[in-house]
Chain A
Amino acid sequence: MKYVHLIWANIRRKKVRTLLTVGSFAVALFLFGLLATIQTAFNQGVEVAGVDRLVVRNNVSLIMPLPYSYKERLLQIPGVRDVTFASWFGGYYQDPKNFFPQLASEKETWLKIYPEYKVPPKEWADFLADREGCIIGRTTAEKYGFKVGDRVPIVASIFGGVWEFNVCGIYDGTRTEDDTTQFWFRSDYLEERRTWGKGQVGWYVVRVDNPDDAPAVAEAIDNRFSNSSWETKSETEKAFAAGFVKQVGNIQLLIMVIGSVVFFTLLLVTGNTMALSIRERTGELAVMKTLGFSDRSILWFVLAESQAYAVIGGALGLAGVKLFTLGGDPTGGFLPLFYLAPSRMLLGLMLAMAVGALSGLLPALTARRLRIVEALRRI
């Protein structure tokens, strides 16, 4: 601790250079944090997927439906404990940019399959009693100011017309990563009002007795409906979510490439700054060695200085992303879970420190090897 003022004094020596170096770290870490947030948002479904849930969809495409009659047949397959279903409604509130996912779900089984979502019992009872009722996730409710008792008009892009719903309740997730942007309404209301596609559902969600048996149960389901007019494709919820992400492209690779380029550039910029800084202070370092500071302590001083740039800049950049993400999803519903996880912040800080250490290493070794007599001669 007694050396902190020495490091701080050197950091303040060239204020503009310090500002630019810290700024480089801050911008790089801001970008890293943003990319990590986007990646988390894309992978949210994969992260929170239930290990005991299978998604059963039409083998042709997710947008193709399945018959309602499959529900009972699915329940007869060994290993299946519960079955529910949902249909994509694809509407919007007032303006197309006010998008959030609306699902017509089966009221009797929905929460059995998704126990991670919590709705107050009274509100759920009201939902069961109201054919036009809906339950809205906390994030969407807060974003649009929906309250219990409100009547919400939704423009139905797929089914046509404006459908009105009574807000019966607000649901929350039990985990931070749970998606609380959804809007649930009753599948029997959809069935009643839709003018086409009656007797069909979007997809089934099956809960299995034993997660270890999930692949075998999925295979049994697909075999059960093979060679029918409505063949199925069953997969674990995790695989389903991962496949959904892949449709957008290889986000992981994209983020890795951008992140690597940014950090490599940062390494060059900071390395150059540190080298310049040490070259300018050759005489001072020689004097410190003359006074009795060992080669090793000089090495640590230089490394500590580059670490200070990294930590200050990194912390500023990550704090900036954190503030940015507090505003929520900037895409209008495409990335519902838009937040910077603490683990990603820690990773970002560690990456910044690694870059700081690498960029300071060469100048630190130069300073360590500095010969006092030669350096003093140059003053």
Chain B
Amino acid sequence: MKPGSTARERRKMVKVDGRDEGKSLIRVRGLDKTYRRGGQVIHVLQGLNLDVSEGEFVAFMGPSGSGKTTLLNLLGGLDLPSSGSITVAGDEISRLSGPRLSRWRARHVGFIFQMYNLMPVLTAYQNVELPLLLTRLTRAQRRRHVETALDLVGLSERRRHYPRQLSGGQEQRVAIARALVADPTFLLCDEPTGDLDRRSADEVMDLLWTLSREYGKTVLMVTHDPRAAERAGVVLHLEKGALVESGAP
């Protein structure tokens, strides 16, 4: 993760029409997701297309039940599509399963949840270190990475604190540090400010914006909050199982 102006200079692109032939980081084609509930088939996503190039900050909006979180789960390899394909950095993840999918997630995705989802029995340091335990880094190397990530979110002083000793905003910043520490290909944020007060929410959004703008990190965020969505480069709306671009805010 190197800060600089390269991210801003790169040609940026987010498309939802499925016509892009360029080398986008994330390419989704004809994505369908259906659920069965009591004999009824519910189509959550229908023929969804998406192309996102590296360094983009995309916000997904839409009413409850529109499939935002489902889309995020599919992009993060947490769920499998009913049909269609998802390709990330050349890997078609819709074809991966089991341990290969786990390894892919560890390598490529940083998750940030609405409820932070930190391990309550681990300190901030240990929580951030968690993804690195899956790598071959030595203890000293892990320590350097964790310290860098905690510095980045401004919580170096709180490394020994447990989640219950932190405010909501601080917990979310630890969660962001955990998502960043292994330098994933992209970040997936599910309502990252949904449980925060305005000030903490702004701090978190500033951080995500910096990660995208200064460090060229690709960020895909689901949100209900228009103020949070304003910080994204592109806002997409989910309507009837498909994405509609509403342009840069």
Give chain A's interface residues, CB within 8 Å of chain B: 2-3, 5-6, 9-10, 12-13, 283-284, 287-296, 372-373, 376, 379
Interface stretch of the complex, out of B86-94, B113-121, B153-161: B113-121
Does B73 contact A373, Cβ atoms closer than 8 Å?
Answer: yes
Which of B9-17, B51-59, B97-105, B233-241 has 4 or more CB atoms under 8 Å from chain A?
A: B97-105
The answer for the CA separation of A291 and B130 in the assembled complex, in Å, is: 8
Which of A287, A288, A291, A295 is the one whose CB lies under 8 Å from B98? Answer: A295
A288 contacts B99, CB within 8 Å? no
Majority-rule SS of A interface residues: helix
* One of B131-139, B201-209, B217-225 contacting the partner: B131-139
- Across the interface, which residues of A come within 8 angstroms of B99, CB to CB? 294-296
Q: A287 to B122: give the CA distance in the assembly, Å.
A: 14
Closest to B110 in A: A291
B interface majority secondary structure: helix
What residues of chain B lie closer than 8 Å to A13, measured between beta carbons?
120-121
Q: Are B134 and A290 in contact (CB under 8 A)?
A: no
Q: How many A-B residue pairs have CB under 8 A?
A: 63
Residues of A within 8 A of B113 (CB): 287, 376
Whether the pair B106, A292 counts as a contact (CB closer than 8 A) is yes
Please tell me which one of the listed residues A10, A292, A295, A296 contacts residue B105 in the complex, with CB atoms under 8 A apart. Answer: A292
- B126 within 8 A of partner (CB): yes
Interface size class of B (residues with CB under 8 A): 20 to 34
- B111–A5 CB distance below 8 A: no
**Which partner residue on chain B sits nearest A292 by CB separation?**
B106
B105 contact set on A, CB distance < 8 A = 290-292
Query: Which residues of B come within 8 Å of A, CB atoms?
Result: 73, 76, 78-79, 98-99, 102-103, 105-107, 111, 113, 115, 117, 119-122, 126, 130-131, 133-134, 139, 178
Closest to A12 in B: B121
Contact A288/B78 with A9-B121, A373-B73 known, Cβ cut-off 8 Å:
no
Cα distance A289–B99 in the bound complex, in angstroms? 10
Distance of B110 from chain A, by nearest CB (Å): 9
Apart from the given pairs A284-B120, A292-B134, A376-B113, 20 other A-B contacts in the complex at a CB distance below 8 Å: A5-B126, A9-B122, A13-B121, A284-B119, A287-B113, A290-B76, A290-B111, A291-B105, A291-B106, A291-B131, A291-B178, A292-B105, A292-B107, A292-B131, A293-B106, A294-B99, A295-B102, A372-B78, A376-B117, A379-B115
Contact of A379 among B79, B98, B117, B134 (CB under 8 A): B117
Partner of A2, one of B78, B107, B139: B139
Contact across chains for B133 and A3 when beta carbons are under 8 A apart: yes
Q: Which residues of B contact A289 (CB under 8 A)?
A: 102
Q: CA–CA, A165 to B98, complex, Å?
A: 81
Please measure, in the bound complex, the distance between the C-alpha atom of A358 and the C-alpha atom of B105, giving whole angstroms: 31
Of the listed residues A3, A283, A292, A294, the one surrounded by the most CB atoms of chain B closer than 10 A to its CB is: A292
Closest chain-B Cβ to A11's Cβ sits at a distance in Å of: 9
In the assembled complex, the CB of A190 is this many whole angstroms from the nearest CB of chain B, namely: 72
In-complex Cβ contact of B134 among A5, A283, A287, A291 (8 A):
A291
CA distance A12 to B126 in the complex (A): 15
3 nearest A-B residue pairs (beta carbon):
A292-B106, A9-B121, A294-B102
- Give A368 Cβ to nearest chain B Cβ, in Å: 11
